[in-house]
Amino acid sequence: MARFLLLFFSLLITGASAYAQTTLQGKVTDKETGEPILFGSVALYKNGVLITGTETDFDGNYNFTELDPSTYDVEVSYVGYSKQRVTSVKVLAGKANKLDMEMTPEGVLLGEVVVTEYRVPLVEQDNTTQGAVITSDQIKNLPTRNINALAATTAGLASADEGDNISVRGSRDNATDFYIDGIRVRGNLIPESEIDQLQVITGGIEAQYGDVTGGIISITTKGPSSQFSGGFEAETSRYLDPFEQSLIGFNLSGPILRRTESDGTRSSILGFRLAGRLTDQLDDDPTAVNVYRVNDDALARLQANPVIELGGNQFVAADFLTNEDVDVLDYQPYENFKRYDLTAKLDARLSSAIDLTFTGAYNREEDQFTPGETSNSGTNWRVLNSYNNPTDYDRTYRGNFRFRHRLGGAATEEDRAGKGALIQNASYTLQFGYEKQLYDLYDPRHGDNLFNYGYIGDFQQEWVPVYQFGVDSLQNLIATHVDYRQVLTGYQPDAELNPVLAAYNNPLGIQDNENLPPTIDGFNTINGRTINVFSDSWNFHTNVGTVYNLNRKRDNDTYTFQARASFDLVPGGSDKGRHNIQLGVWYEQRTNRQYDIGPRPLWVLARQLANNHIQGIPFDSEGNPLTDPTGEVDTLFINGVQVLGNRYQVSIAEGADDLFYKRVREVTGDALTDYVNVDGLRPEDLSLDMFSAKELNDYQDLNLSYYGYTYLGENFDGNFEDFFTMTTTGDPNTGIRTFPVAPNRPIYGAAYVQDKFTFKDIIFRLGLRIDRYDANTKVLKDNYSLYEIQGASDYHAEFGGDRPGNISDDFKVYATDESGEQVLAYRDGDQWYQSNGNPVNNPALIFQGGVVNPVYRDLNVRDDLDYIKKRGFDINASFEDYEVQVNFMPRLAFSFPISDEANFFAHYDILVQRPPSNTIATPIDYFYFSERANTIKNNPNLKPERTIDYEVGFQQKLSNSSALKIAAYYKEMRDMIQIRTFFPVPIVGQYTTYDNQDFGTVKGFSFQYDMRRTGNLSFNANYTLQFADGTGSDADSQRSLSSRGNLRTLFPLNFDERHRIVATMDYRYASGNKYTGPRLFGADIFANAGLNVQAIGVSGRPYTATRQAQQLGGAGTIGALNGARKPWNFTLNLRLDKNFELTQNLGLNIYVRVSNLLDRANVINVYSATGSPEDDGFLRTPEGQGSINNILSSQRSLESFLASYQWRVLNPNYFSLPRRIYVGAIFDF
């Protein structure tokens, strides 16, 4: 054991890979005698390229380790025997794949190569990992291209609709990890046509996989070929359905460098594969029901006059639309989608034992979407404003380099002499991965021109003096200059940037600067602001001309290093005691950046700040101005008496972090004592750097948030402390503070060891994984306080008094008042105690609604509760480093092959995943902790989530072509993230954040039937019975229940599918002598043709029924939470195709693919008060009738209201995707 541990730690520096140990092993024997073939040559080919070779040992055994999951040809040769070649050997990911081969003496078949086709065993001998493997051939024949949909054919996986997020055996959808060629990825995946194998792991996860509590989807990409080859594909649904999805793609593959072998053959030592695809969709979220959009004529009317006047009152013009003013569409307008994919792969064989692989990928998406379409409340853009839909732009760059060295291989001289080596088949792999994700979202009309978002026009204003009249000591009239008043003198709407918004002012009748309101506050819309009542129609539909008020950019980098060593430990050289040892390490560093701003209110902020430093005219105690006269004199008349008024200069007050009032005057040329009219400037006159960081962050309406950037959106790579210390001068105590925020840079590391061996015919796999997670940031010392609270020991040392015996030194102390002299309560974590030491469950019993007075440790905090905002703030008063989390995860699995026809298997896993969400909180959140207490805050101090997973199962061969697998599984999910309110909290009373509070259990049974191709037919089906219960379905699922406190009772999770059935039938004709289909005039009309049909039936997911119907919702729970069920869903998909051999080297595949063949509008969501996806029930309630009566008593149209209501209530996202029909062709050469 000591020798093994020494070997383990010495190899850790060359440890881990995300690939499970994928091997191919078997025995080569003489077909006639059964004797083993000693030292026979075994070669492995992929796409005609020699991958590696080895020799059989004294027992005729061979073993290939560290293989990429794929399809291979295996060839064995030996002097005196004909070569034996087995084609299309499926080497499945993470499996010890087995292939025994028999050789025929050459005297029987002189000079011939015996070629046979591989058949995948019905019953797996190594069944320690559960899930499924889908090969490229299967992917090609299935009627879907979506990777999530492909994976969802596996038993135990749940998905609400085709392509939706996946839940693996009752876990949350963020508990599933994706890998491409051994590297975990975060961005978009690759096209399905470039997948060689897709492995889905649902249970029995090996020790080399970590940071996961649900399942794993691992993709192996296709590699180069030995000969130049390629392909071209095209597919479209144009003219077949209204959604118009089209794609074109290509692939090229072949050798770059070749080498002449000793036998004269030429083999590839450097090969490539290049592929690309363009996808274009008119509507990327097809609807099963009709949707509504205002027609062109009505839209033109609304854009010209979005607000109208009736009877002296102003109304939104759209409030008077009827069904005649809208088009009924069978697609969602302005939801165009484009995707560009490019993948490349280089494979190099430096020798028979060393190979290099480089994989690169580029992906770009342009996705136009409808704001508000997925929300059950608020306004939706579709009906009135979809022509202004925003577009998000997503780019992913990915690179992956792997170095692999197989130290084992040919038998050694010791082996030939009969002396077995202790270590055999040793190999190691080094792998480096890099991924960059860039994301941008903005209104396409304005992009990054932030001041264009809110610009309406030129509002001409002046500031005129205000005089106060009185009499002097001689009773003469005098005028005293006391202030200035803002007066509107002109208005010119802009006709280019936001002309429809500018038209909101049309009812005011402003022409040639006549009928002007006295100030800009009299307008319906001004720069940066629109009166709320005119921003939507009936509170359902966003009004025309609305600007998408968000500009976002995101920049994420992921750096991964992984390494792995594996070898066979063979004590005494005996194969019976062979142990396959795997060990390794993993390191991953993420750098996440994001910048958000709602730019439209920038004009409002500029208007507030431009003259905010002007304090007016100061006066002494006798009312005399304290500033000097400006030299300007106004002539005034009071009751016909002329009075002269002297103007006086205003006083100004300059704040340490104030900047805009200076910068704007650099543009206008005005003095600091002159008033500036910001609304007379153009957008190009203003820029974000005219504001200070504090000015922008103070104004909450901007929704400014950022990390990894400065406040101006420039990259920043500093640390947490820099936010509090960096200024324009470099001195924390002088200059203007710049508030840069460090990027989010979590660090994840792992090490593992695993032993796989056979004992009395039972295959055991024992593993241990150690995960290390570091959030790599500062966190609050105490979730109950912004500042650190003094412990009991220090408190009583300072203030005296007796401490109860059960109160430990570090218990936090709360006092009766600000003086801190008398103890009111103690607290240890979440446990509260009265001053006498008695524990209480509810702190409200202690404080009884009074002020919370903790005794702070830092004296600066005791003097000023806004200490965090002061220059010189010591971060140690509030923050500490995140405590690194180290978790040990034992993994145990075994597989007992009762015979070649039956197998019993089981596993026990402990799984840990770093916090998957809600971890990024910035210094901005703490700086404005008091002012923004009502906003939900992320918690960087979250701990990893945990899952304990058990499974037992049995697999039985039923016939020579079919088998049945039955499994039962149980999972316990702990420390899941859930929203939580901390109370009582000083200063703010309470605040809401996230914590590791949720737990859940999953119980399930799965039944899988697999019938291999029998004649022309293959068929497989699986049924899953599952009970997924917990205290929360996602991190925000208890948000609406916060008034009850966090629930600790289990209820069905939102993604619980009690019954799920998936069946796939493939009926396919062969060609030539194997053709068994009908003939027409002697022609094999269905040769190489096939039909693939997929049927999916799912019981309804749960929802919480409510008693009282509300507008687009409901209130008052009926029965249990998630106690009601939605209807069953049923989907039928098919693919019909035929291959044509145009020439010897040119093939053509023509196909028709249909998703949701029966065009069923399956119900995905319902209104909670009615259980219907089409009616919320509100209008039938007394409150709904009251709304109708209010409309009847006003000047608005009831017909318009009812029509508008129906347009909003009918939500296409409440239904599954409709039928989509595609035709396509694939050329291969």
Peptide bond connecting 286 to the previous residue in cis, omega within 30 degrees of 0? no
Q: Cα dihedral sign for 1071, 1072, 1077, 1078?
A: positive
For residue 1178, what pLDDT is reported?
Answer: 94
Mean pLDDT of the chain: 91
Locate the domains of the chain by residue range.
Answer: 21-117, 450-468+485-550, 602-613+654-698+709-742, 778-881, 889-1141+1152-1184
Query: Is the per-residue pLDDT at 952 higher than 60?
Result: yes
For residue 1087, what pLDDT is reported?
Answer: 94
For residue 125, what pLDDT is reported?
Answer: 82
Q: For residues 722, 725, 729 and 730, what is the CA-based torsion angle, rounded to 10 degrees? A: -60
> Strand 853-854 relative to strand 641-648: parallel, antiparallel, unpaired?
unpaired
The span from the CA of 548 to the CA of 569, in Å, is: 63
For residue 247, what pLDDT is reported?
Answer: 97
Query: Is the per-residue pLDDT at 3 higher than 50?
Result: no
Sheet holding 176-180, edge to edge: 130-135, 195-203, 215-221, 176-180, 183-185
The DSSP string of 1110-1130 is ETTEEEEE-SSTT-EEPPPEE
> Strand 307-310 relative to strand 579-597: parallel, antiparallel, unpaired?
unpaired
The pLDDT tens digits of the residues spanning 389-418 come to 999 999 999 999 999 998 865 445 555 454
pLDDT band at residue 474 using 50, 70 and 90 as cut-offs: confident
The span from the CA of 445 to the CA of 457, in Å, is: 17
pLDDT band at residue 301 using 50, 70 and 90 as cut-offs: very high
For residue 311, what pLDDT is reported?
Answer: 83
The span from the CA of 453 to the CA of 572, in Å, is: 77
- In this structure, of 36-50, 178-192, 859-873, the range with the lowest mean pLDDT score is 36-50
Percent over 70 (pLDDT), the chain: 95
- Can you name the residues that pair with 29 across neighbouring β-strands? 36, 102
Q: For residues 100, 105, 106 and 109, what is the CA-based torsion angle, rounded to 10 degrees? A: -80
Structure tokens at 920: 């990024």
For residue 472, what pLDDT is reported?
Answer: 77
The span from the CA of 1025 to the CA of 1011, in Å, is: 21
User: Look-up: residue for tokens 């006295």?
Assistant: 518
The span from the CA of 1157 to the CA of 1177, in Å, is: 32
Query: Is the per-residue pLDDT at 573 higher than 80?
Result: no
Residues 21-117, CATH architecture: Sandwich (2.60)
Classify domain 889-1141+1152-1184 by CATH number.
Answer: 2.40.170.20
pLDDT band at residue 82 using 50, 70 and 90 as cut-offs: confident
Query: Is the per-residue pLDDT at 108 higher than 90?
Result: no
- In this structure, of 111-115, 130-134, 293-297, 475-479, the range with the lowest mean pLDDT score is 111-115
The pLDDT tens digits of the residues spanning 21-47 come to 688 889 999 888 889 988 889 999 888
Check if 21-117 and 889-1141+1152-1184 are the same fold. Answer: no
For residue 111, what pLDDT is reported?
Answer: 58
What burial class does residue 57 get, using C-beta atoms within 10 Å of its C-beta: 0-12 exposed, 13-18 middle, 19+ buried? buried
pTM of this prediction? Answer: 0.92
The span from the CA of 1204 to the CA of 537, in Å, is: 8
3-state SS assignment for residue 1145: coil
Structure tokens at 600: 């439209």
Tell me the average pLDDT across 868-884.
95
The DSSP string of 636-701 is EEETTEEEEEEEEPPEE---TT--HHHHHHHHH---TTS---GGGS-GGG--GGGS-HHHHHH-GG
